């Protein structure tokens, strides 16, 4: 998955107030070709410099974000304005952390932004720093991408003459849970990149004890455009509960995998069509490995918004969509991913350590046709027993995947129990399972 | 306002004493770790809840006022 496309062809970003329907591509409107990044001079032709905190009061900047209705794009969909306000209300000098870890194997959108549009993310970070009164920004990115490291180096070099907050690039270990905000803060404070028990949350006590704003890279990129074009412009697309556009990483059984930018609330079927999925679509994993399978029937009608997905027990998460190719086995893929998620536990909480391993083995047994009725009941019981009992939500994501698989692939479960064969076995794994890093520091 | 029980899942290593002392509020999962069936502690159980917190070998059971 290297090429990236938008639903609308990238073109010059139209500033607000010029009439006509808003175009879908906003963040990616100026996306340069693969292997290059948008230089500061080009970026500044459309995006003005972030506000000088000495000229614009914090309250006004936060109000701008609140009016936009922006929600976090790292997974939690938490209102960005409320998060900024919570940090400011601590009344102490804060730190801003850009979360570009993107430990989700099916997601590439933060890496895409950081590698090719770094100034969008850095503008957003500078805006957030001005809004909360932070002088320091820590940009956390994966160790795995030389492209991201290079682009940030060059981008920071270009910005040197502009002033703004001090920015440092940090490279936490590439673990699935390392991007969880308490884990990230733990690592930045010199510990292992493992979650800690909250409270205190990072906004109360984070990096070096300071109130800390941890914000996903895409969220900050939106923030940069809200600062440039205003909250009303931002709300021109998207839904009432989730305004703006969203970056989706689409992979699996599609002919055009890559990162797409669409308005929040867009029908999933339209995204699948653009990505060249089979019609009618097969099951789709929405929200990454801690997300939920959506059945083909639901995939044909559901819209990609918080409001539409919540009743299904799903969420957009980090925007990763994986289409199950025809001929692949959803149970097998789920068993593999659950096994991988179990291996990504921080190893701290009993219910996660023991529960995820058991759940992964249980789904493997379903797939192999070794599971009796009482084993299925046990899996369902575990799905509720283990929930909400970890220091972080890593186990809860795995359970969401489990519950959705038991429901969407219920017929496959029966089929495997009767015939003890699987059509998917011959095929390669659809969902990538990166090797587990051994590093926690 | 009743007192509120919670478990620190990182500290807890599943000794299970809490479930023995407070079966009304705590049961154990299949691996011996506590599940709070009810986290609001009724006044009649407050004293025994306090005792359960103090005897937890990991000090992982916490009672918030």
pLDDT of residue A11: 37
Residues A377 and A393 in one domain: yes
Inter-residue contact A214 to A50 (CB < 8 Å): no
Q: How far is B13 from chain A (nearest CA, A)?
A: 7
Q: Which domain holds residue A122?
A: 40-235
Residues of chain B with pLDDT > 70, as a percent, come to: 98
Burial class (CB in 10 A: 0-12, 13-18, 19+), A384: exposed
CATH number of the domain where residue A278 is located: 3.10.20.600
pLDDT of residue A54: 76
Report if pTM > 0.90: yes
Residue A266: closest CA among A245, A249, A280, A250? A245
pLDDT of residue A17: 38
The terminus-to-terminus CA distance of chain B in angstroms comes to 8
| CA atoms within a 13 Å half-sphere pointing along the CA-CB vector of A430 | 28
B22-38 pLDDT tens trace:
999 999 999 999 999 99
Q: Which two tokens stand for residue A378?
A: 């046990």
Other C-beta atoms lying within 10 Å of the C-beta of residue B64: 9
Residues A187 and A62 in one domain: yes
Residues in chain B: 65
Question: What domain count does chain B have?
Answer: 1
Contacts of A196 in chain B (CB under 8 A): 10
Mapped to the 3 state alphabet, what secondary structure does chain A carry?
CCCCCCCCCCCCCCCCCCCCCCCCCCCCCCCCCCCCCCCHHHHHHHCCCCCCCCCCCHHHHHHHHHHHCCECCCCCCCEHHHHHHHHHCCCCCCEEEEEECCCCCCCCHHHHHHHHCHHHHHHHHHHHHHHHCCCEEEEEECCCCHHHHHHHHHHHHHHHHHCCCEEEEECCCCCHHHHCHHHHHHHHCCCCCCCCCCCCCCCCCCHHHCCEEEEEHHHHHHHHHHHHHCHHHHHCCECCCCECEEEEEEEECECCCEEEEEECCCEHHHHHHHHCECCCCCCEEECCCCCEEECHHHHCCCECCHHHHHHHCCCCCCCEEEECCCCCCHHHHHHHHHHHHHHCCCCCCHHHHHHHHHHHHHHHHHHCCCCCHHHHHHHHHHHHHCCCCCCCCHHHHHHHHHHHHHHHCHHHHHHHHHHCCCCCCCCCCCCCCCCCCCCCC
CATH number of the domain where residue A378 is located: 1.20.1440.230
Residue A8: inside a domain: no
A389 vs B9, B13, B32: nearest CB: B9
Residue A2: inside a domain: no
H/E stretch holding B27 reads: strand B26-28
Residue A32: inside a domain: no
pLDDT of residue A22: 40
Supply the DSSP symbol for B61: E
Residues A137 and A82 in one domain: yes
Would you call B53 helix, strand, or coil by DSSP? Answer: helix
Q: Which two tokens stand for residue A307?
A: 């409001």
Contacts of B37 in chain A (CB under 8 A): none
Rg (CA), chain B: 10
Q: What value, to the nearest 5°, has the Cα angle with vertex A437 and ends A434 and A440?
A: 145
CA distance A417 to B34: 33
Residue A22: inside a domain: no
Kindly compute the dihedral angle of the four CA atoms of residues A157, A185, A321, A270, in this order, to the nearest 10 degrees. Answer: -60
Strand pairing partners for B40? B4
Is this complex scored with an ipTM above 0.90?
A: yes
pLDDT of residue A278: 87
CA distance A38 to A229: 19
Residues A84 and A163 in one domain: yes
pLDDT of residue A425: 64
Name the interface residues of A facing B (CB cutoff 8 Å).
Answer: 196-197, 348-352, 354-355, 358, 382, 385-386, 389-391
Residue A422: closest CA among A341, A294, A333, A360? A333
Q: How many cross-chain Cβ pairs, A to B, lie less than 8 Å apart?
A: 41
Name the interface residues of B facing A (CB cutoff 8 Å).
Answer: 7-10, 12-14, 29-33, 35
CA distance A13 to A221: 14
A286-343 pLDDT tens trace:
999 999 999 999 999 999 998 999 999 999 999 999 999 988 999 999 999 999 999 9
Residues A96 and A230 in one domain: yes
Residues A106 and A254 in one domain: no
Other C-beta atoms lying within 10 Å of the C-beta of residue A89: 11
Contacts of B33 in chain A (CB under 8 A): 350-351, 354, 389
Residue A217: closest CA among A149, A318, A147? A318
Residues A169 and A81 in one domain: yes
Q: Which domain holds residue B19?
A: 3-64
Question: What domain count does chain A have?
Answer: 3
Q: How far is A351 from chain B (nearest CA, A)?
A: 7
CA distance A416 to A369: 5
Contacts of A197 in chain B (CB under 8 A): 8-10
The alpha carbon of A95 is separated from its chain's Cα centroid by a whole number of angstroms, namely 22
By CA distance, what is B36's nearest residue in A?
A389
Residues A304 and A163 in one domain: no
Domain boundary among A209, A235, A261: A235
CA distance A129 to A212: 10
Residues A121 and A146 in one domain: yes
A171-220 pLDDT tens trace:
999 999 999 999 999 999 999 999 999 999 999 999 999 999 999 999 99
Residues A319 and A217 in one domain: no
Would you call B45 helix, strand, or coil by DSSP? Answer: helix
pLDDT per residue, tens digit, chain A (441 aa), is 333 444 433 333 444 334 344 456 899 999 999 999 999 999 999 999 987 877 888 899 999 999 999 999 999 899 999 999 999 999 999 999 999 999 999 999 999 999 999 999 999 999 999 999 999 999 999 998 899 999 999 999 999 999 889 999 999 999 999 999 999 999 999 999 999 999 999 999 999 999 999 999 999 999 999 999 999 999 999 999 999 999 999 999 999 999 999 999 999 999 999 999 987 778 999 999 999 999 999 999 999 998 999 999 999 999 999 999 988 999 999 999 999 999 999 999 999 999 999 999 999 999 998 888 899 999 999 999 999 999 999 999 999 999 999 999 999 999 898 876 776 666 678 899 999 998 999
CA distance A333 to A396: 18
CATH number of the domain where residue B13 is located: 3.30.70.20
The two beta strands, A320-323 and B26-28, are unpaired
CATH number of the domain where residue A53 is located: 3.40.50.11540
Q: What is the residue whose two structure tokens read 């976090």?
A: A72
pLDDT of residue A426: 62
Below-70 pLDDT ranges, chain B: 1
pLDDT of residue A323: 96
What are the φ and ψ backbone dihedral angles of A333, each rounded to 5 degrees? -60, -40
Residues A317 and A335 in one domain: no
Residues A277 and A368 in one domain: no
């Amino acid at each position: 998955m290297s090429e990236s496309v938008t639903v609308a062809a990238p073109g010059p970003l139209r500033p607000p107030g010029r009439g006509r329907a808003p175009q879908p591509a906003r963040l990616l409107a100026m996306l340069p070709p693969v292997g290059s990044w948008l230089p500061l001079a080009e970026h500044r032709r459309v995006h003005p410099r972030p506000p000088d905190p000495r000229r614009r009061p914090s309250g006004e900047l936060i109000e701008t974000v609140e009016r936009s209705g922006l929600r976090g794009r790292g997974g939690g969909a938490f209102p960005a304005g409320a998060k900024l306000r919570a940090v400011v209300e601590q009344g102490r000098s804060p730190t801003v952390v850009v979360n570009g870890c993107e430990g989700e194997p099916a997601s590439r959108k933060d890496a895409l932004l950081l590698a090719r549009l770094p100034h969008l993310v850095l503008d957003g970070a500078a805006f957030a720093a001005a809004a909360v009164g932070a002088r320091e920004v820590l940009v956390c990115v994966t160790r795995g991408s030389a492209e991201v490291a290079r682009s940030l180096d060059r981008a920071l070099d270009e910005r040197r003459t502009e002033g703004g907050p001090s920015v440092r690039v940090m490279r936490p270990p590439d673990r699935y849970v390392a991007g969880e905000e308490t884990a990230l803060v733990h690592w930045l404070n010199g510990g292992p990149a493992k979650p800690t028990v909250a409270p205190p949350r990072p906004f109360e006590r984070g990096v070096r004890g300071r109130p800390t704003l941890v914000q996903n890279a895409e969220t900050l990129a939106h923030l940069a455009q809200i600062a440039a074009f205003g909250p009303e412009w931002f709300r021109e697309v998207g839904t009432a509960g989730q305004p703006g556009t969203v970056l989706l990483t689409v992979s699996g059984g599609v002919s055009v995998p890559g990162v797409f930018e669409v308005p929040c609330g867009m029908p999933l079927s339209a995204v699948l069509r653009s990505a060249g999925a089979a019609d009618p679509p097969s099951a789709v994993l929405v929200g990454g490995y801690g997300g939920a399978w959506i059945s083909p029937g639901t995939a044909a009608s559901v819209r990609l918004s918080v409001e539409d997905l919540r009743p299904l027990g799903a969420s957009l998460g980090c925007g990763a969509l994986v289409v199950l190719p025809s001929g692949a086995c959803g149970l097998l893929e789920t068993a593999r991913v659950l096994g991988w998620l179990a291996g990504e536990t921080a190893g701290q909480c009993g219910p996660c350590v023991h529960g995820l391993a058991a759940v992964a083995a249980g789904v493997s047994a379903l797939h192999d046709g070794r599971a009796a009725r009482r084993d299925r009941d046990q899996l369902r019981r575990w799905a509720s027993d283990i929930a909400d009992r970890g220091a972080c939500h890593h186990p809860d994501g795995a359970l969401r995947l489990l519950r959705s698989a038991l429901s969407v692939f219920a017929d496959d479960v029966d089929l495997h129990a009767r015939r003890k064969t699987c059509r998917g076995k011959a095929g390669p794994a659809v969902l990538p399972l990166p090797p587990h890093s051994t590093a926690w520091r | 306002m009743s007192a509120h029980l919670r478990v620190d899942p990182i500290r807890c290593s599943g000794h299970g004493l809490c479930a023995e002392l407070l079966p009304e509020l705590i049961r154990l999962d299949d691996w011996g770790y506590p599940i709070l069936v009810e986290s609001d502690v009724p006044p009649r159980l407050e004293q025994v809840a306090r005792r359960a917190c103090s005897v937890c070998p990991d000090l992982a059971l916490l009672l918030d006022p």
